Structure 1
């Protein structure tokens, strides 16, 4: 039975690799490097201004380049919601500093910009928090795009810039569509600094919705659709981005596989303690996506850690490989779990800044 199961799984993987779109990537490089940045929140300092944020990301990129070979193609990935505190980046960081909770900070930001937010609320027919994101999106997009475009070009890397909740914009900051939508978006830049594309999060967690399960107001974001999911071609393979919770959903993974995805990037921000139960559950995301029958070849899961006011984020960033490519690879796992194959590198801490990297030979 065991041999039969292995044979069936291998045939399923072969089927996936032969799906339409699976061979659409450019001629793949022989080797490349993948980096997952485990970013630690320090929003009162790092988001004090656009220049402060750019300086912070620049310092991280210097650390990254100290760990990789600059002569080999490199994919650098940042975590989910790295752009969220940009709500306060335009002379409003004092509001974030003085607030006790993040919800209080948002409320006070709405009060400070009451006239402008009210205008957006009335014009687009949305509630207060959505109106705030609509009004702030111009400032947020400028700081986010300028920083990551410049970093990708300065260091000559492919860069998945985590994610940011804002209106969808083009590379020059102009709106893709002038409507009332705000998404959790992850932008992807090439080594020339130009935008390769962006991905929308499809499956929102309760805090990203209008209200959570307890009736508390959330970020009131819009969800993307399966049909909108994209896969991005690079010289070392097709990059498929699944923003955090999306990587737990088989429909998202299958859609990315059908479109030719090879390298799964899962920008994450886990607002929970990194318990043994959380660690076990996390195996149902990127690690599982490189098991049978999906067939994705590698994954990068950069995690956000540290406190954002009253919300604490924990997790271990990781890099991994498909079981068929490396059936006898190294054994490791999250800190409280027994070692298994499928991981290539894991951050040693759950709450500290880390750079996790590996070199992959195709």
Structure 2
């Protein structure tokens, strides 16, 4: 386990105690939810072995909290597969900034990226990810499948940039040009339960950034399991009424919000679609999982893990939480820079407590390229809560064609085709053409 992961910071409250007589099994669902807050760095993604070790470290952090007498749900963080584009290119991982790393990666993989760029007419940054997607998708899914099996947990793998696939014979074929921010849910045997694509992208995920494809709202579904009727709202989606309302209409009882908040936690920001509504980020976060569980209809619990750490010149920070109804968690507490309130079943403390001015200064010290001795010294940890729900009344949704393809891959019934042979290096004219295309990316 990486040395930067300190002993687990725990937060726990039993939401609905089981008062059934011991000789009469309750029909209710009793389970444990676990949220892991890891710290990432570029070095975790430079090889398959490094990535597997980083993912395993998170399950090892959760292991002491896994309940032996009930099912366990472990939820990991958003875009934990995105930096796999660094795999095999250690120089890019040391580039210092995202822009430099992207350019180095583009040039390093030019013979593979250029055909995608020209054939599918996508941006250079999306072409780069699509060109590397077969190997990275296989590594990501197989790593998560093996961890779900080994630890015997229901696993929300977080999310990763994922193409859209279809199954033809025993091969997965990629739909041209599509790259979603996709969460994958697996069962304790490593079997696929379902996927969910992020609908509302942040500016950093759109064409000015990593250039992902928005997911269709009408494809969001709820998956009934022994650990709740699971609906996924990745990061910004959990702030949006159209997403939470659609999940509630389908009977969602446990909302999963994998997160990667790309800014200092104590900095103010305005979230789309109203960037003029500037407020402290912790205050804004009350409009996601906490609001969904304290004011919603069917949504009873929410699990919101947040990754921390400076990835090249990008800053990620936050406070992971598990939320519920006010009567489930009457003890008043809340994020920093907000007043205490009921509804937090478990909450990871931030790195410090104190006056707002001091906390904002600490956030600046932690941020990437601050040069301060506290730079990149975030808090990591794990939270858990024992939860109870009545039997599910939610029907199992039919699988999409994409899910059928991923299920076949995870079950060993299909393969991702190897990348086509590299084009011969086309020399200076091809490089100049690529640079011109890169210059049109709008940044």
Shared fold (TM-score greater than 0.5)? yes
Deviation at 1:104, TM superposition (A): 1.2
Task: Tell me if 1:306 matches 2:309.
Answer: yes
Distance 1:175 1:220 in 2: 23
Contact 1:28 1:235 in 2 (8 A): no
> In structure 2, what is the equivalent of residue 127 of structure 1?
123
User: What is the distance in 1 between the residues matched to 2:320 and 2:36?
Assistant: 7
Task: Give, in angstroms, the shift of residue 286 of structure 1.
Answer: 0.7
* Aligned position for 1:20: none
Q: Which moved more, 1:346-355 or 1:305-314?
A: 346-355
In the other structure, the counterpart of 2:16 is none
Corresponding residue for 2:255? 264
Post-superposition Cα deviations, 1:106-148, rounded to whole Å, max 9, x if no partner, equal 1110011112111011111212111111101112101110111
| Secondary structure at the counterpart of residue 287 of structure 1 | helix
Which position in structure 1 is the counterpart of 2:108?
112
Matched residue, 1:185: 182
The equivalent residue for 1:210 is 207
| Contact kept in structure 2, 1:237 and 1:262, CA below 8 Å | yes
Partner of 2:93: 96
The question of whether the paired residues in 2 share the 8 Å contact of 1:28 and 1:237 is answered with no
> Which of residues 233, 236, 245 in structure 2 aligns to 1:254?
245
Number of aligned positions between the proteins: 325
Structure 2 partner of 1:330: 331
Alignment of 1:57-96 (within 5 A): 57-89=55-87, 91-96=88-93
1:269-309: CA deviation from partner (whole Å, max 9, x where unpaired) = 11111127110110001111113244310000000111011
Q: CA deviation at 1:229?
A: 0.6
- The separation in 1 between residues aligned to 2:76 and 2:172, in whole angstroms, is 23
Equivalents in 1 of 2:173, 2:292: separation in Å? 31
- Point out the more displaced range, 156-165 or 271-280: 271-280
Partner of 2:37, secondary structure, is strand
What's the offset of the Cα at 1:30? 3.4
Give the alignment's TM-score, normalised by structure 1: 0.85
How do 1:151-170 and structure 2 match up within 5 A? 151-169=147-165
Hey, what's the Cα distance between the residues in 2 that align with 1:338 and 1:42?
32
Q: CA deviation at 1:332?
A: 1.2
Report if aligned partners of 2:166, 2:172 keep a CA contact under 8 Å in 1: yes
Cα deviation digits, residues 6-60 of structure 1 (max 9, x gap): xxxxxxxxxxxxxxxxxxxxx975311011111111221x223112211222222
CA contact (8 A) 2:35 2:322 kept: yes
Q: Distance in 1 between matches of 2:296 and 2:113?
A: 47
Uncovered stretches (5+) of structure 1, i.e. residues with no partner = 1-26, 212-217
Paired with 1:163 and 1:341, the residues of 2 have a C-alpha distance of 29
Alpha-carbon distance in structure 2 between the residues aligned to 1:316 and 1:339: 14
Cα RMSD (Å) of the superposition?
A: 2.0
* Larger CA Rg, structure 1 vs 2: 2
Cα separation, partners in 2 of 1:117 and 1:58, compared to 1, 3 Å: same
For residues 32 and 198 of structure 2, what CA distance do their matches in structure 1 show? 25
Contact preservation (8 Å) 2:34, 2:384: yes
- Alpha carbons of 1:193 and 1:29: their partners in 2 closer, same or farther (altered >3 Å)? farther
**Kindly tell me: are residues 238 and 108 of structure 1, through their superposed partners in 2, closer, same or farther at Cα, counting changes over 3 Å?**
same
Query: What is the TM-score when the length of structure 2 is the normalising length?
Result: 0.70
Match of 2:288 in 1: 285
Task: Describe the shift of the 1:342–1:226 C-alpha distance in structure 2 as closer, same or farther (beyond 3 A).
Answer: same
